[in-house]
Amino acid sequence: MKLRAEPTKNYRLLFSLYFLGFGILVALITSFINYSASVTNIEKRLQHMAVTESQSKREHITNYIDRAERLLFAITDNQLTRSYLLSPGDENRQNLIQLLYALSMSSKDIMQLRYLDASGREVVRINRDKSSASLRVAPDDELQDKGQRYYFKAASKLGFDEVWHSNIDLNIENGQIEKPYRPTLRLATPLIIDNQFQGVVIVNLLFENEINFLTNNPDFLVYLVDKDGEIIHDPDTSGSWSRYLDNKQNMQDLFPEAVEGITSQDNYKVQGLYSFSMTDLFNNDEGLRIVFVARPEVMNSMKSTNMQAALLVAFTVLLVSVPLSWFISLIPSKLQSKLSSAYNKIHKNAVIIDKYVMLSTTDTQGNIKEVSSRFAEVTGYSSEQLIGKRHNLIRHPDTPPSTYEEMWGTILGTGVWEGEMKNRNKRGESYWIHSIINPNLNSASEIEGFTAVDQDITDKKRIEALSMTDSLTGLYNRHKLNELLLCEVSRSSRYQTPTSVILVDVDYFKRINDSYGHNVGDDVLVQLAAIFRKNSRESDCLGRWGGEEFLIITSNSDARSAVDFAEKLRAAIHNELFPKVGHISVSCGVAQYVAGQDATQWISSADKALYQAKEAGRNRVVRS
């Protein structure tokens, strides 16, 4: 028996050694393969992080520039601006000053807002004090001739609704770069009325907060550079503004092997460095680029993590050759490490969400259970004052009940509701939000409460209102009417539906202004607007075309129906008693849209009909 047992014992020993050796070999091969793959995975992960971050920053800057351009259009399209240009008296100039002053209050980034006349002379300038952030209207003796400045020359060559952007540079006072440095972006647009150049509107924006947003990232060192490789922002701020300050390194000095790719390609990448062009966002030749360079500590951490993972896999494979209990003992440690990492990421994201996102949760009865710090900041209430209350604490009376009925009907049916609401904060001030409300469901698909994610869109709403509304009558302004005309031309051409316009002009309006004053004339225009609203359908679009002219777009109406409507308005106005003035009359020109016309030709037809009504004695309706 001993002779037979000995080879068996030796066989088992050799088999064990072989199996253990095979396990070690497999572990080493697996470790090498995993580590090699990890290098590629790190690069892919960094690229994905850089692309995602660049897209987020592009969207932010796009919205920022859009808001600034809307602010300029709110001036060029405003009736107060037109009134000053048609009659540049003291009263109209004061109204223009008040308009620019009010718009300057919309953002603390506005350093200066100006209107320059056709010669380049400053007419109005609003300055923001750099120490107190208060606004100041520049007195007449401080207004300067800017006709030879580059921004006036550039903006004066633009067409209607075009905007010039400056390079991102440092603010200069009295010929010297201002200290502390104030990064500045300037936007300008020409003021064109009746195809006549009337000057330039220009805004100087403090771009420091936007640079901080663009370059703030925990995983990358972020550079802003121009097309020549000059550095606008260096993570080490002492290296910023290489074009404007002496003894500063540029990208050629920092990244000589990558600078050509950075400056010549829209998207450029090498290991650990990723560049994205933002040239298309700015109407200038600066060629702005954002460059992400992976922080050394981030790359080291990734490599260390991947090395540990590779060794862990190898060790796990090795343990297959030894008792199973050794292998199982590693699982809790590995899971704990992943859980700890996941918890840290969740905690970090939760802090960011709490600070920057308006978030609130309620129970099924609508009682507030939890709010973010940002929600409390916007509403003006503390978390303690909000929890346990309902959202009607901040409800604004202007928000119609139908909005809330639609919202509750959607979320109680387990749907997601999205819409805009007007609310009121603790101080009684109005603000607008874009809200998305989700029902919270338990495992049985029953509603346990609701979560609302809100975005403060107050500034957007204010600028939208300024950009589309005539400040005197509250009707649409000419800019908005032009948009509506284009839509009607497209709709009528596509669906072959009749559409007409009515051009209304007040007869002898100049006599009213000359006899009773412009204030009485303004009262007449306001009263006319009220008559138009009272006698119009909801589908009719009413607007002030300019001066004492009004335009009415009557959808789904042929010329005959539009003439009847115009005659109704003419009679209502003729029978109306206007304070101080008495009875007045209007003349109307009607034109139905004809296939193949553009908006200008359509309005020209109505204008010719209006001229015929005037020539025929006024106080009548003429169809083209």
The pLDDT mean for the chain works out to 87
Report the pLDDT value the prediction gives residue 236, as an integer from 0 to 100: 86
Q: What is the pLDDT of residue 5?
A: 42
Q: Looking at residues 223-230, what average pLDDT do you find?
A: 94
What pLDDT does residue 339 have?
A: 46
Q: Name the more confident of 592 and 17.
A: 592
Lowest average pLDDT, out of 340-354, 469-483, 567-581, goes to 340-354
What per-residue confidence (pLDDT) applies to 324?
A: 42
Q: What is the pLDDT of residue 35?
A: 55
Q: Residue 123: which of 110, 111, 136, 140 has the closest Cα? A: 140
Instruction: Retrieve residue 282's tokens.
Output: 């700015």
Q: Please give the pLDDT value at position 446.
A: 87
Q: pLDDT tens digits, residue range 509-535?
A: 999 999 999 999 999 999 999 999 999
User: What pLDDT sits at residue 20?
Assistant: 55
Q: Is residue 252 over pLDDT 50?
A: yes
Q: How many CA atoms lie within 13 A of 173 on its CB side?
A: 10
User: Is there a contact between 144 and 122 (Cβ–Cβ < 8 Å)?
Assistant: yes
Q: Apex CA 247: angle with CA 244 and CA 252, to 5°?
A: 85
What is the per-residue DSSP string for 567-620? HHHHHHHHHPPBTTTB---EEEEEEE--TT--HHHHHHHHHHHHHHHHHTTSSS
Residue 507 has pLDDT above 80, yes or no: yes
Instruction: Assess whether pLDDT exceeds 80 at residue 341.
Output: no
pLDDT class for 7, splitting at 50, 70, 90? very low
Please tell me the predicted confidence (pLDDT) of residue 610. Answer: 96
pLDDT at 320 (0 to 100): 59
Looking at beta carbons, which pairs linking 314-319 to residues 24 or more positions away fall under 8 Å? Answer: 314/27, 314/28, 314/30, 314/31, 314/34, 315/27, 317/23, 317/26, 317/27, 317/30, 318/23, 318/24, 318/26, 318/27
Q: Which sequence positions are flagged as catalytic? A: 548
Q: Which band of pLDDT confidence, cut at 50, 70 and 90, is reported for residue 175?
A: confident
Who contacts 504 (Cβ-Cβ below 8 Å, separation ≥6)?
549, 550, 551, 552, 566, 569, 586, 587, 588
In whole angstroms, give the CA distance from residue 370 to residue 372.
7
- Percent above pLDDT 70 for the chain: 86
Q: In this predicted model, what pLDDT tens digit does every residue of 566-621 receive, in sequence order? A: 999 999 999 999 999 999 999 999 999 999 999 999 999 999 999 999 999 999 99
Gap between the Cα atoms of 416 and 439, Å rounded: 7
pLDDT digits (tens, 9 = 90+) for 260-281: 999 999 999 998 999 999 999 9
Residue 406 vs residue 348, higher pLDDT: 406
Yes or no: say if 314 and 27 are a contact pair by the CB < 8 Å rule: yes
Q: Is the pLDDT of residue 92 over 80?
A: yes
Q: What is the pLDDT of residue 253?
A: 92
pLDDT higher for 555 or 175?
555
Per-residue model confidence as pLDDT tens digits over 180-222: 889 999 999 999 998 899 999 999 999 999 999 999 999 999 9
Question: If pLDDT is split at 50, 70 and 90, which confidence band does 370 have?
Answer: very high
Residues 376-420 have pLDDT tens digits of: 999 999 989 899 989 888 989 888 888 888 888 898 887 889 989
Asked whether residue 329 carries a pLDDT value surpassing 50, the answer given is no
Judge contact between 502 and 586, C-beta under 8 A.
no
Closest to 27 (Cα-Cα) out of 304, 303, 319? 319
With a cut of 60, say whether residue 340 has pLDDT above it.
no
Tell me the mean pLDDT in the region 30-59: 79
pLDDT range class, residue 232, cuts 50, 70, 90: very high
Whether the per-residue pLDDT at 174 is higher than 80: the answer is no
Q: Hey, CA dihedral for 328, 334, 336, 342, is it positive or negative? A: negative
Residue 29 in this model has a pLDDT that exceeds 70: no
In this structure, what are the phi and psi dihedrals at residue 86, rounded to the nearest 5 degrees? Answer: -75, -30
- Give pLDDT, residue 199: 96
